Amino acid sequence: MRKVGLYLPAEEIERVKKQRTTFCQPRARTEAYELSHVQKIIDSVGQIFDVADEDGKVSTQAKLVGAFVTTFGNPDVRLLEGYGFEDDRASFQSKYREFWVHQFPEFRIED
């Protein structure tokens, strides 16, 4: 059995199944699943992981090709490019602030 690398909502799992993707989520949410989960993922670049839904049911696998920590207030350009925003931080923040507040209401977005 592989390690779970991502815990995602169902619609995001479908995106993983279809294409190479970029993901980010509040660190506190990720750490809520497993203490030190973020660092474990960063240390595991190159490995193949299971991708589970929020209840822990594994739905697919994904190869981790990169991992890093960034902030919402000053997002890394790799994140922006992965989401199709090139270097447009303001557009990324405008679109995703509301999404994350709605998707993860129990976890505060930190700038």
Structure confidence at residue 4 (pLDDT): 75
Q: DSSP class of residue 44?
A: T
Neighbours of 32 (CB within 10 A): 13
Evaluated on CA atoms 98, 100, 103, 109, the torsion sign reads negative
Domain extent listing, the chain: 1-69, 72-104
Q: pLDDT tens track of the chain, all 111 residues?
A: 567 767 777 877 887 777 777 777 778 888 887 888 888 888 989 998 888 888 888 888 888 888 888 888 899 999 999 888 998 999 999 988 888 788 778 877 766
Helical spans, DSSP H, in the chain: 10-18, 27-33, 37-42, 77-82, 89-103
Q: What value, to the nearest 5°, has the Cα angle with vertex 75 and ends 80 and 16?
A: 45
Structure confidence at residue 111 (pLDDT): 66
